[in-house]
């Protein structure tokens, strides 16, 4: 179950305030019944909603969280190398699954596998500001100047302009850092950190939007997301 107002806000791209006004104004129905409580629970897989006369039905797409291990490529097929799709157990596999956003072969962590192209586009488009969180281990400590440069946004040597990142040091020696970015340029985190003199020795994606990688999921394992977790990615 997910909250009615959260689901409408995310699905229709409206603010929570607007959604509350619509619901309280009697402009939202669930299975043909007017619902006046914005916090009511709905089942997006089965309930049919109308918002301002428009009907919304969640199509039953698949959304899987995979803990990508080292050495696997984020592709749907590859002649020589193992792909993330080969890690999906037969019970969860379905035609059309693809990784929504790539991780390098040497990066571990959260990969979303889905067959919902519109959702993938939504979470990957920088204009929607869905943050992806990474933890990087560094060869050298990240100094204040480097940290500031990353937070201001920088231009790489090849002219690629990068938006400001949120950065914090996770260890006293400043060699373990967390970065949040809203875009996904080629080798972005590794290139950003190399640009400030701190080559990456290990990299893991730990969250997409407000949804953290499930810490009980071992490398190589995957599981379906609940509707609520899918919505969290959009936050």
- Which residues sit at the interface with ligand URA, rule CB under 6 A? 103-104, 107, 187-190, 203
Which of 160, 209, 203 lies closest to 180, judged by CA?
Answer: 209
Residue 136 or 234 having the CB closest to ligand URA: 136
Active site residues: 104
Closest approach, Cβ 73 to ligand URA, in A, equals: 11
Task: Give the Cα separation of 211 and 69 in Å (integer).
Answer: 19
Q: Cα(45)–Cα(225) distance, rounded to whole angstroms? A: 13
Could you give the CA distance from residue 84 to residue 96 in angstroms, rounded to a whole number?
13
Q: Which CB sits closer to ligand URA, 105 or 122?
A: 105
Please compute, for residue 14, the number of CA atoms within 13 A of its CA located in the half-sphere on the CB side.
Answer: 18
Rounded distance between C-alpha atoms, residue 77 and residue 86, angstroms: 9
Report in angstroms how near the CB of residue 101 gets to ligand URA at its nearest: 8
Output the smallest distance, CB 191 to ligand URA, in A: 6
Q: Looking at beta carbons only, is 4 or 167 nearer to ligand URA? A: 167
In angstroms, give the least distance from the CB of 147 to ligand URA.
Answer: 17
Instruction: Assign 3-class secondary structure to 143-196.
Output: CHHHHHHHHHCCECCCCCECCCCEEEECCCCCCEEEEEECCCCCCHHHHHHHHC
Q: Which is nearer to ligand URA, 86 or 104 (CB)?
A: 104
- DSSP at 228: H
């Amino acid at each position: 179950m997910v909250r009615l107002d959260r689901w409408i806000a995310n699905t229709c791209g409206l603010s929570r305030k607007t959604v509350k006004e619509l619901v309280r104004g009697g402009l939202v129905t669930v299975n043909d019944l007017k619902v006046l409580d914005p916090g009511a629970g709905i089942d997006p897989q089965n309930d049919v909603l109308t918002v301002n006369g428009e009907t919304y039905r969640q199509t039953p797409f698949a959304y899987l969280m995979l803990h990508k291990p080292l050495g696997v490529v984020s592709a749907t097929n590859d002649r020589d190398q193992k792909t993330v799709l080969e890690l999906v157990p037969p019970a969860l596999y379905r035609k059309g699954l693809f990784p929504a956003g790539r991780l390098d072969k040497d990066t571990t962590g959260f990969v979303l596998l889905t067959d919902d192209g519109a959702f993938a586009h939504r979470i990957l488009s920088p204009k929607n500001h869905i943050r992806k969180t990474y933890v990087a281990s560094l060869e050298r400590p990240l100094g204040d100047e480097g940290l500031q440069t990353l937070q201001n946004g920088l231009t790489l040597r090849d002219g690629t302009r990068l938006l400001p990142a949120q950065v914090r040091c996770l260890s006293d020696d400043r060699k373990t850092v967390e970065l949040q970015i809203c875009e996904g340029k080629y080798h972005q985190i590794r290139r950003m950190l190399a640009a400030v003199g701190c080559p990456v020795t290990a990299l893991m994606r730990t969250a997409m939007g407000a949804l953290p990688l499930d810490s009980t999921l071992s490398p190589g394992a995957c599981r379906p997301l609940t509707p609520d977790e899918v919505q969290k990615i959009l936050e």
